């Protein structure tokens, strides 16, 4: 799955166990700018480093997996958990405010009116 938005906040990497670490961030998703959504994602293991080059306020595209877990607590009650596990974050290209350059039309200025080699 993919989603585009703006990085609102990023957190430090947490070492949960010696062999497991995660890092969370908040993405502002404004499909409807009047009512933006604030979505928490997590990165795990080596993917945590992807946030090192991303700053709050950067527009990004996030690729992620939707994860769901079932857990039985010590009382025997079943609990369900969801997580959004990002696996790629890409900065979106900054839009330039300069006008687009016109295509090179120099070849159109050549005068072909006296060319007698034309077959028609």
Q: Which residues are CB-neighbours of 5 under 8 A, at least 6 positions away?
A: 27, 28, 29, 30, 39, 59, 60, 62
Q: Which residues share a beta bridge with 44?
A: 22
Q: How confident is the model at residue 119 (pLDDT cuts 50, 70, 90)?
A: low
Residue 107 in this model has a pLDDT that exceeds 50: no
Q: Considering the chain, what is the average pLDDT of its residues?
A: 85
Residue 43 in this model has a pLDDT that exceeds 80: yes
pTM score, whole prediction: 0.71
Residue 104 in this model has a pLDDT that exceeds 60: no
Average pLDDT over residues 97-118: 51
Domains with residue ranges and CATH for the chain: 2-93 (2.40.50.140)
pLDDT for the residue 13: 94
Triad 68, 79, 47: Cα angle to 5°: 35
Q: What are the tens digits of pLDDT across the range 53-96?
A: 999 999 999 999 999 999 999 999 999 999 999 999 999 887 55
Instruction: Enter the DSSP assignment of 18.
Output: T
């Amino acid at each position: 799955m993919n989603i585009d938005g703006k990085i609102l906040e990023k957190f430090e990497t947490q070492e949960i166990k010696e062999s497991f670490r995660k890092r969370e961030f908040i993405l502002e998703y404004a499909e409807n700018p009047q009512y933006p959504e604030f979505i928490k994602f997590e990165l795990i293991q080596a993917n945590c480093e992807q946030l090192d080059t991303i700053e709050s306020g950067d527009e990004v595209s996030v690729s992620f997996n939707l994860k769901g877990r079932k857990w039985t607590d010590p009382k025997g009650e079943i609990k369900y958990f969801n997580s959004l596990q990002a696996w790629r974050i890409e900065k979106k290209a900054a839009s330039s405010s300069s006008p687009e350059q016109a295509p090179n039309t120099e070849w159109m200025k050549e005068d072909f009116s006296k060319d007698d080699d034309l077959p028609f």
